[in-house]
A and B are shown apart, each in its own frame.
Chain A
Amino acid sequence: MRCPSESRLRPITDEDVRRLVRLHFDPQHGTPYWLERDRRQGTDALGKVHGLADAVALIGLLDGSDQMHFEEAARRTPLENFVPRSVLAEGGTLWAAQTGGTTGPAKHGTWGSRYWDDILAFSDEFLDLHGVPRGKNWLFVGPMGPHTTGRLVVAFAERRGGMCFSIDLDPRIVKIFGEEGMTAAYDRYVDHIWAQIAEVARSQDIGVLFCTSRLLEMLPERLGTEALAGVEAIVHAGTTLDPETHRQLREDFFPGVPVVGMYGTSTTGISWQKPFEAEDEHRVVYVPCQPHVSLDVVDGQGDDVPFGEEGRVRVWRLTDDALLPGFWERDRARRVRPYGVAAERYPWPWVGDPYSPEFTEGRRVEGVY
């Protein structure tokens, strides 16, 4: 298949793993948190991890107290604990990211300049594959501030020759409204978001809409079907669209307009929806950004589930500025064997229909995020 932007996407190799282990576990210049854990657990990653299989066996986070230790450290200790001293010494840009904070106090992470550049190239590649036009203004409706999505989307728009209008969305206050039963405040906040969207839609020339999935589903009932008639592409993130909603968006509400999903978190990175094909049956399937990020779909023991089956998402982030060895996400997803036109270009396992089981209807935070 055509690969217009020629990103550095390729499968993770054992050499990638060895290089990252040398970087993060170097006794002098490595990453304080991982070195301390290595000592605490007696792992000797530097001496024993020679490839991906060793990494999975020896340094992967264990679900439970091990991962909890990491998460609490990511919440409570300086971010420099998670960056190799050598990377800090180089002095490149580090974006201090925070998670949404919808499951507890926010966790902190970094996006280094090299990773950032590669993510933008990766994103351009997929936006082009989906037919998202260049030279158009974007409207971003989602979390700005400390959340990486906002900064990323501004970069997407500007890199592709447009301006990015934005409507901020604070998932943390929405969480408070939900947990404290502040229904009226929640409803007022949602009205406030839509009023701002309506103003921008009325006055500006918007070619690409980037929206959380939940807000995207509310768009016709809130603005009608004509308010964003000039939109030439839609990108969504957050809770995955169910196939019926995906189909309706493509066929009934925005016929001929690409509808593209992005999946990820502020600390782990992003994955893009594979190019849309009929055999997807409108299920949303994502291609992880290898060699930087691998999304495993595993059973309770951490073993890959067979292709086609559902399991828990486990993230490996292997970048210079941050190591995330097998982080257990709350999300569940289907493990997908690559297929269709993109299989050859992206031959590593994909993930389909990810969702967060605890974000039930009773949790109103899901209402916008």
Chain B
Amino acid sequence: MSAPTAALGTEVLDVPAYDGARAVMSHRPDVVRDGEGRPLARLGSTGRLTQFRMAEEAGRAARRLRGIDDADWFGLLRRAADRVTTKLDNGDLDVWLRALSAVSGLPRRRAARGLRTAAQDLARMEEILAAQAPDGTVSAYRTGGSGLGWSWRPAGRSVLVRQPGNFPTINIEWLQALATRRPVLLSTAAADPFTPVVLTEELYAAGLPEHGVSVVHGDAPALRRLADQVLWPGEDVPADLPAGKVKTYHFGRSRAVIGDRLPDDAWPRLAREAFAGCGRLCVNMSSLVVLGDPREAAEALAHEFAARPVLPLDDPRAAVPAFPDRAARDSLALRIEREVAAGAVDVTAAATGVPLRVELDGQAFLRPTVLLVDPGSPLFGTELPFPFTAVAHVPRSKAVAACAGSLIVSVVGEADGLVRALAEEPGVDKVFAGDQFDRGYHPCDPHEGHLADFLFKKKAVIPGALA
């Protein structure tokens, strides 16, 4: 681990960029500050020439990665995962986690848990990739598959992954791309430049071939041009990215449909879904489609929300994120307050007696919120970056339409025929029901489709055995 490599009076991390395995700082690094403006970290910056070289070298590294035996390759990934886990256990990453918490507003223990989960996912890539391969084997990523009428080959050499900073677990996106033996050009988010660097350093320490991964902090315009493919978070794709070159991911918007005869533990389980990843995941239940009485449902959920109060970020029980950017917090609060002024009911206000805007330890929070709304409300179906669920009554006949544009729809209780209708709805990506309604994210499930379907393509290679 190269960091913390320097300090400026107080502990200020050096967070280098990585040109392959080479750490890159700069003479005028970008400074990352906490919500009070105090410097936390210096980020290595990379000019366009470095990005050009990264892209060139990534293209060359593709062949090297594909030349590694399966056992060696997945062993390497497991070793890297073990190194991260060991460092977490030993407290070696505490300074990184403190910085991550201060910059992102995530409770420190949750941030650590997120990083640990990312490492665990890295360790099980063999299982995750096998689930995506056309013949169910990980060797297909290296050989093109066997017993198929076609050959399964990379759809490009390098792939640029623009990393969001909402929660460390989302690093699984680029880790999967790497595990398929596609060299990764990684562009980090302002809210979390730390997790990608921690993982990258341990991958190289575990023996990752040179230029398997390169890391740029912030936007990387040259890499956007030069990478063969791009994974882009959210739906605001830069205009200079051709449609066929980019796959969007992590746009979120998950919902739950509340039917009849709910399981006894439905509400605590739904609340857990809303609070997973501190409410910043794409799988968080942001809306509740209630076929029956919405007030009853909202109050039951608010009761569970009330058991998860705003706590200081270093409190081990904390599950509610802060907003280091106070203006961003206020802007979100205003959107909710406008809805309340228009007739929505902030059910959690009564359940908790806590105002929406919370100040604690000098940090700005939003109290976890259940908002009873009209289904036409702009907040119904909107994902906000904290535990927030909008609840509305929707008649059975309109439930499927109300769920269009969802990543996950959880059907809770009995809702006759709805699961099948939702599964047929093109605007719904995943449907969970029965006892699995809160399955959330499982890395082997298709999630916005399978990533491998973008990174690889079927080719006619005849005779395939010789190729």
Contacts and interface: CB of A to CB of B under 8 A. Distances in A.
B27 A183 contact: no
A253 B27 contact: no
Nearest to A310: B28
Contact of B28 (A184, A218, A220, A355): A355
Tell me which of A218, A221, A355 has the highest count of chain B C-beta atoms within 10 A of its own C-beta. A221
Given A184-B239, A242-B47, A252 B27 contact: no
B218 interface: yes
Contact of B27 (A187, A248, A283): A283
B47 A220 contact: no
Contact of B240 (A183, A217, A283): A183
A206 interface: no
Interface string B307-331: 0000000000000000000000000
B225 interface: yes
A243 interface: yes
A128 to B, nearest CB: 27
A367 B48 CA distance: 11
B49 interface: yes
Interface residues of A, number: 20
A244 B218 CA distance: 18
Given A242-B28, A242-B47, A243-B27, A221 B239 contact: no
Contacts of B55: 221
Given A353-B27, A361-B219, A244 B47 contact: yes
A283 B28 CA distance: 11
A220 B225 CA distance: 12
B222 A248 contact: no
B49 A249 contact: yes
Contact of A183 (B51, B53, B226, B238): B238
B238 to A, nearest CB: 7
Interface string A200-217: 000000000000000001
Contact of B47 (A245, A283, A355): A245
B454 interface: no
B26 interface: yes
A220 B218 contact: no
B50 interface: yes
B418 interface: no
B52 A221 contact: yes
B314 to A, nearest CB: 33
B437 to A, nearest CB: 42
Contact of A245 (B49, B219, B239): B49
Contacts of B131: none
Interface in A215-245: 217-218, 220-221, 242-245
B24 interface: yes
Contact of B26 (A244, A248, A252): A244
Contacts of B221: 367
B48 A218 contact: yes
B122 to A, nearest CB: 30
Contacts of B24: 244
Most buried by A among B45, B48, B49, B55: B49
Given A183-B238, A183-B240, A361-B219, A221 B26 contact: no
A183 B239 contact: yes
Contacts of A367: 221
A248 B240 contact: no
B50 A248 contact: yes
Contacts of A184: 239
Interface in B188-243: 218-219, 221-222, 225-226, 238-240
Interface string A309-348: 0000000000000000000000000000000000000000
Interface string B32-61: 000000000000010111111101000000
B27 A218 contact: no
Contact of A217 (B26, B49, B219, B238): B49
B297 to A, nearest CB: 42
A1 B177 CA distance: 57
B26 A242 contact: yes
Contacts of B53: 248, 252
Contacts of A243: 27
Nearest to A221: B52
A240 B47 CA distance: 12
A244 B45 CA distance: 10
Interface in B13-41: 24, 26-28
A244 B238 CA distance: 27
Interface in A249-280: 249, 252-253
A252 B239 CA distance: 31
Nearest to A367: B221
Contact of B49 (A183, A253, A355): A253
B222 A221 contact: yes
B49 A220 contact: yes
B211 to A, nearest CB: 15
A50 B386 CA distance: 67
A244 B50 contact: yes
Contacts of B218: 361
B226 A221 contact: yes
Contacts of A244: 24, 26-27, 47, 49-50
Nearest to A241: B47
Nearest to B45: A242
A206 to B, nearest CB: 20
Nearest to A362: B219
A253 B222 CA distance: 16
- Most B CB within 10 A of own CB, among A187, A244, A249, A361: A244
Contacts of A217: 47-49
Contacts of A283: 27
Contacts of A187: 239-240
B48 to A, nearest CB: 4
Interface in A88-129: none
Nearest to B47: A245
A353 B48 CA distance: 18
Given A183-B240, A187-B240, A252-B53, A221 B28 contact: no
A253 B56 CA distance: 13
B282 to A, nearest CB: 26
Contacts of B238: 183
A245 B51 CA distance: 11
B133 to A, nearest CB: 34
Nearest to A282: B27
Interface string A22-43: 0000000000000000000000
Interface of A: 183-184, 187, 217-218, 220-221, 242-245, 248-249, 252-253, 283, 353, 355, 361, 367
24 contacts: A183-B239, A183-B240, A187-B240, A217-B49, A220-B49, A220-B52, A221-B52, A221-B55, A221-B222, A221-B225, A242-B28, A242-B45, A244-B24, A244-B27, A244-B47, A244-B50, A245-B49, A248-B47, A248-B49, A248-B50, A253-B49, A283-B27, A361-B218, A361-B219
Given A221-B226, A242-B28, A252-B53, 15 more contacts: A183-B238, A217-B49, A218-B222, A221-B48, A221-B52, A221-B225, A242-B27, A243-B27, A244-B26, A244-B49, A245-B48, A249-B49, A252-B49, A361-B218, A361-B219
Interface of B: 24, 26-28, 45, 47-53, 55, 218-219, 221-222, 225-226, 238-240
